[in-house]
Amino acid sequence: MTDLTVGKPWTVLWKFSLPMFVSVIFQQMYSIFDSIIAGKFAGEDALAAVGASYPITMIFMAFAVGSNVGCCVVISQFFGGKEFSKVKTASTTTIISCTILATVLTVFGLAFSTPLMRMINTPDNIFRDGELYLKIYIAGLIFLFLYNVGTGIYNAMGDSKTPLYLLIGSSVGNVVLDYVFVKFFKWGVAGVAWATFIAQGVACVFSLLILVKKTAEIKTEDKPPLFSGKILKKITLYSIPSILQQSFISVGNIFVQYLVNSFGSSCIAGYSSAIKLNTFAITSFTTLSNGLSSFVAQNYGAGRNDRIKSGYKAGLVISAIVAVPFILCFFCMPKTMINLFLDDGGTKAVEIGTTFLRIISPFYVFVGIKIMSDGALRGKGAMQYFMISTFTDLILRVVLAFVLARPYGSTGIWLSWPIGWLVSTVLSVVFARVKVMKNELNEEWGVRNEEWQSQTELSTNTK
């Protein structure tokens, strides 16, 4: 477990974020291989059935991701302030509360899976498979929740390597099980769902076992309580904005997808291919942003505002470096990238996907700045500013997509993305300058600079 309050901010942040960045690569590669296996061995309808339930699964995922963010920020601040007893209590409080939340959502999801699939107007020919996939996915929600909060706790304590190893094992296992269940057992959509269920369940169990061992290594004067309502309230205050943000994004994507669908199958195919590549880039920035959140939160808890400023600046530079290869690939050779998913190089779908990539990719530098600024705001606890920026981007993109689609067709939809990004980037940077760069110490967490100075002899790796 790494103490992010010591060492050069640039070096510490990069070493901490690199394993998280590598995990994104494995995660995205798994997603691609998963789609290839489903499409090749189970057919297009199976792939469509899984895709039909995607907007609903993302709503459940929003709760898991939000819980991850909430526990990560709070535990990072406790860890940075050397309040190790509260670190343990916050960890167990998170696990207990998320187990209860996951159970409630599982019961709700299984009871209303059929109405939810009807609500999004799922075609009859894929309805049964889509509903089956959704039910199996929902049955594994407790694994999804506990794995996500486990990752949040690891990151909060400066450990980004354990989640990487778990994700590599889970991804490889998932792909292997996909192949066996779909190709040899002929389970179709159910095989894809059960592969995810088993791989995620195993990863969750190992995550919790390792977490118990690591937290046991943290020495405290007395035995901390397993649950704290006060700490749960703090975690909830950070989790709810992130849950709302993720939920609104999912709903917004449904509206955009509805608009894309109105332009026919070629537009859908081109957009589906391009959006996978775009998701790869955005997820990379988001992962780096999560690393910056942990860095800022630990140093905020330690009252080290000078390090917060340096870390934020280093984060902006790192995001710009990461943006360059995506811009070069997507802008300079978009057809090559789209043809990874579509075989016919001369189809209209390739042309549409190419247009999408060339319009949005030059703005990745600004997206990186926005997302890293959001990460710094989360780490400082300024969740309301983070929400304002994100919702502004989402609302602008959805509204402008409908407005610009009328005169410019599908190209108008793509043009709405950079406009929303630019406006929200300005907001995030302004908020970050006010809340992150402001020279203030965190008195709430009770740690002063002079206290930190007396602790600099502690090892960088807290055991």
Cα gap 389→249, rounded to integer Å: 12
Neighbouring residues of 459: CB distance < 8 A, sequence distance ≥ 6: 3
CB-CB neighbours of 407 under 10 Å: 8
- Predicted pLDDT at 148: 87
- pLDDT for the residue numbered 450: 41
Bridge partner residues of 2 (DSSP)? 461
pLDDT at 363: 96
Q: Contact 173/201 with Cβ under 8 angstroms?
A: no
Q: Closest Cα to residue 157, out of 67, 238, 76?
A: 76
Count of CB atoms situated within 10 Å of the CB of 131: 20
Residues in the chain: 463
Grouping H, G, I as helix, E, B as strand and the rest as coil, residue 2 is: strand
pLDDT of residue 433: 86
Q: From the first residue on, what is the mean pLDDT of each consecutive set of 10 residues in the chain (463 residues)?
A: 75 82 76 66 62 76 83 84 90 94 95 84 78 93 92 86 88 89 87 90 94 88 89 88 75 77 74 81 87 84 82 91 94 86 65 92 95 88 80 88 91 92 93 74 42 39 40
Query: What is the predicted pLDDT for the residue at 43?
Result: 59
* Residue 240 to residue 230: CA distance in whole angstroms: 16
